[in-house]
Amino acid sequence: MPMAQEIERKFLVKDTSWREHAKGLLYRQGYIPTQNKTTVRVRVVGDRGYLTVKSPSLELTRQEFEYDIPVEDAEAMLNSLCSAPLIEKRRHTLRVGEHLWEIDEFLGDNTGLVLAEIELTRETEEFVMPTWVGEEVSANPNYFNSNLVKKPYRLWEDVHSSS
């Protein structure tokens, strides 16, 4: 059986022109601490629970294994096993060309941060770049959800001191 892989590119969102055509859903997620750069994520989306294990990234690619779990188990893990604060965001989806974009509007300690992600089948795959997409931040660890728990967007001095 082939190994599960995730190839993802992540960008800042520079305006709200995407909003009128997107559908949104509330996500709550947390991370169980690990001893290495592997991430273990617990997520609740609506009435569904998920457990995801991801390897460290190698460029834009990493191994990813995701499993459905009972939502009650996911809630219990979020409340007892995950580092605080939890990541709360409204995820919007929008098809552009052949690809599905996910636009995350962060809430709570990460309010003000809006990111767009696209998953690809290979790192060199071409895609249509929407006009509302800004700077690519795929390789910037500050924008990894697992790091937004450790240093939420509201604490980023370089972003907030220039406002």
List 27, 31, 67, 153, catalytic entry: 31
Q: What is the pLDDT of residues 73-100, one digit of tens each?
A: 999 999 999 999 999 999 999 999 999 9
Question: What are the residue boundaries of the structural domains of the chain, listed by start?
Answer: 5-160
Q: Could you confirm whether domain 5-160 is CATH 2.30.110.10? A: no
Element (H or E) spanning 54, and its range?
A: strand 48-54
Query: Which carries the bigger pLDDT value, residue 163 or residue 147?
Result: 147
Q: How far apart are CA 23 and CA 93, in angstroms?
A: 6
112-135 average pLDDT score:
96
Q: What is the pLDDT of residues 14-61, one digit of tens each?
A: 999 999 888 899 999 999 999 888 999 999 999 999 999 999 877 788
pTM: 0.88
Of 132, 110, 107, 100, the C-alpha closest to 8 is 100
Q: What is the pLDDT of residue 37?
A: 85
98-122 average pLDDT score:
96
Tokens representing residue 42 in the block: 């617990």
Q: Answer yes or no: 50 catalytic.
A: no
